[in-house]
Amino acid sequence: MRPIRTIGLIIIIAGIVLTALAAIEGGVVLSLFLIIPVFEVRSLIGAVGVLLVFAGILVSFFLPFFAGGDEEKGNAAQAINIRSRPSSAGVVLIGPIPIVWRSDNRMALLAMAIALIVMAVMVLLLL
């Protein structure tokens, strides 16, 4: 299951790079509709980049649920410590206001850092 997520992450990074290159050339325009960011894709490179990001998300999050391999699941279940819980966090940006939820403090800091980076990129692209 881990190689599938790694491949998904590589696809997402490739899509972000292609989208950024298209944005530099003017092939992708970021605008706001009320408080919702909207991408307008004007070039083939930008379209491929956006599609790669969506494909990477699908691969890394949904494909492991459909992947076979009962042996791997059995070995993974034996290796998991019963007392451990997975860490999770999330951020919803409503305009300039971030709403953060988390399962532990480390994940909250990571989610807030990512939210700040996204907000800074949006400000730079919209200026």
Mean pLDDT for the stretch of residues 73-93 = 64
**pLDDT of the residue at 1:** 55
Helix H segments across 25-104?
44-66, 70-79
**pLDDT of the residue at 40:** 84
Would you say residue 74 has pLDDT above 70?
no
Would you say residue 35 has pLDDT above 80?
no
Greatest alpha-carbon pair distance for the chain in Å reads: 53
**pLDDT of the residue at 80:** 54
pLDDT band for position 76 (cuts 50, 70, 90): low
**pLDDT of the residue at 71:** 47
